[in-house]
Homo-oligomer: A and B are copies of this chain.
Amino acid sequence: MERKILLPEEELPEAWFNLIPRLPEPPAPPLDPRTGKPINPEDLRRIFPQALIEQEMSPKPWIEIPEEVRKVYRLWRPTPLRRALALEEELKTPARIYYKDESVSPPGSHKPNTAVAQAYYNKVEGIRRLATETGAGQWGSALSFACRLFGLECTVYMVRVSYQQKPYRRTLMHLWGAEVYPSPSERTEAGRRILSQNPETPGSLGIAISEAVEDAATHEDTNYALGSVLNHVLLHQTVIGLETQRQLSLVGEKPDVLIACVGGGSNFGGFTFPFIGEILEGRLSAEVLAVEPASCPTLTKGVYTYDYGDTAGLTPLLLMHTLGHTFEPPGIHAGGLRYHGDAPLVCQLVKAGVVKPRAYPQTACFEAAVLFARTEGIVPAPETSHAIRAAIDEALKARETGEEKVIVFNFSGHGHFDLSAYDAYLEGQLEDYEYPEEKIREALERLPKFPTGI
C-alpha cells in the first residue's frame, strides 16, 4: 500500500476554485465604517493591487493562475497526499486517514500559495514594497520568500509574543531579505498608541494588521498583503483542495470527514472549498470540521456580526464570527490561530451549518502532535496539531463504531521552528488557558455600534 499519492507537475491546477458564485446566498459585502454602506472598491486601491480587488468579489467560477505564479508553485507543488498508515496502526482504527502535506514548501506551510500570487500581482502593478503582519511567523516568512523571488521589498510586523518566542522565524525572514519589527512598534501611530496604553502587551494579529495597513496606506510605493481572512487569499489556497480531490480520486476514495485548523481561515478554506462546492451541488456527503483553540474560540463562542478586521479600526467592517476586535487572546503557542475574527466565507458556511466548528485546549493538541511525530515522523506546527487532534478523535470514534471512514485533513505546516513549544510540553510546563469569558464580554461591548449585524 502506498504511503504517498504524488502528482506530476503537469497536474498542477491551472485555475483557482472560486466558491463565491456557488454559494446559495451571496456573501455580505464589507462595509465602510464611516457610512455603514458597502465599501467602494476604489477605496481599497490605496493598499491593494487592482487584480486582487477584482478577485475579492469575482463572480467567475474559476480564476486562471498566471504562468509566472505556477512556475514558482512548481518549486514544491503539487504537494504529496499522504496515507497515515503508521498512525492508523497505532490507533487500531478501521478508518483510513489521509493528510495533505503543505509543510513541504520552502517556508514550511501553505502560506506561500497566496504569498506568491500576491507578490506577483503587486509586482506587475508596479509596487516596490509590501507591508504585512505575522503571528507565528508562517505568513511573514512566506511573504518574505515570495517577495524575494519577485524582487520586492518586504516589511513584516510580527506579533511581539511570537517575535520573542520564535526568534528563528525572524532569522528565516531576514534570510529571505525582509525587515522585521516586533508589533506593536514605534513605527506607526497605531503601534505607538497601543504601546502608550499598555507597554507590556504581548501584541495580537489585530494590532499588527493595524500597523501594516497604516504603513501601506501612508507610503505611495507600498501595498499591504494579508495572509488570511479575505476572499482572494482563500481563493489562492484552493490549489490545496483541488490537488487533494485529484489525489483521492487516483486511489478511488471519497472523504467522509474533512478537517483543517482555523486561525483566519486560509488553510481551512483552501483545503475544503473545492469539496464544499461538491457538497453544495449534492455530489458529496461529508462532515467538514473547523478546529480552533479553546483559548481563542472565535467560531465556537464568538458573535456573528460586523466587526473590524484589525484592532485599531482601520479596515472595513466584515461580517464574521468575532470575539471583538479589541480581544487580546492569551499567548498560546499556536500563534497562527490567535485572531479575534475569521474569514467571512468560512463564517458564512458555519452559520449555514455546512461547516462544524470545534475547539480544543493546547495540551490535547500537543499530545496529538507528539503521537503523530512518533508514528508518521513529521513534526507538526502547533496550529496543525489542532487538525490532528480532531482527526485522531474521529479515528477513535470510528474504532468504537467500526466504521471504515475516510478521514482527510490538511497538514498545514511543520513545527521545525516551534520546538521551544514542544520543549515546554515535554517538560510538563505547558498550560491550558481558561476561556476568558469576561475578557470576551468586554471586547464585545466595544464592537462597532452600527450596523448591528444581519
Contacts and interface: CB of A to CB of B under 8 A. Distances in A.
Interface of A: 2-4, 6, 8-9, 74-76, 86, 104-108, 145, 148-149, 167-168, 171-172, 174-177, 370, 373-374, 376-379, 416-417, 419-420, 422-423, 426
A106 B379 contact: yes
Given A75-B376, A176-B374, A423 B171 contact: yes
A379 B172 contact: yes
Nearest to A415: B175
B419 A168 contact: yes
A374 B86 CA distance: 35
A426 B171 contact: yes
15 contacts: A3-B9, A6-B8, A75-B86, A75-B377, A76-B377, A105-B377, A106-B378, A168-B419, A171-B419, A172-B419, A175-B373, A175-B374, A175-B379, A175-B426, A176-B373
Contacts of A104: 104
A106 B75 contact: no
A189 B392 CA distance: 46
Nearest to A375: B149
A76 B378 CA distance: 10
A84 B288 CA distance: 39
A423 B169 CA distance: 11
A374 B148 contact: yes
A377 B3 contact: no
Contacts of A416: 108, 168, 416-417
Contacts of A370: 175
Contacts of A177: 374
Nearest to A4: B9
A420 B420 CA distance: 14
Contacts of A148: 374
Contacts of A171: 419-420, 422-423, 426
Q: Which 7 A-B pairs have the closest CB atoms?
A: A106-B377, A416-B416, A168-B419, A171-B419, A3-B74, A171-B423, A2-B9
- Which of A74, A108, A416, A420 is the most central at the interface, judged by chain B CB atoms within 10 Å of its CB? A416
A97 to B, nearest CB: 14
Contacts of A167: 423
A328 to B, nearest CB: 28
A209 to B, nearest CB: 26
Nearest to A6: B6
A177 B371 CA distance: 11
A104 B8 CA distance: 17
Contacts of A74: 2-4
A205 B289 CA distance: 49
Contact of A145 (B149, B175, B377): B377
A3 B76 CA distance: 9
A232 to B, nearest CB: 23
- Which of A2, A370, A423 is the most central at the interface, judged by chain B CB atoms within 10 Å of its CB? A423
A367 to B, nearest CB: 12
A426 B171 CA distance: 9
Contact of A422 (B4, B149, B175): B175
A364 to B, nearest CB: 17
Nearest to A426: B174
Contacts of A75: 3, 86, 376-377
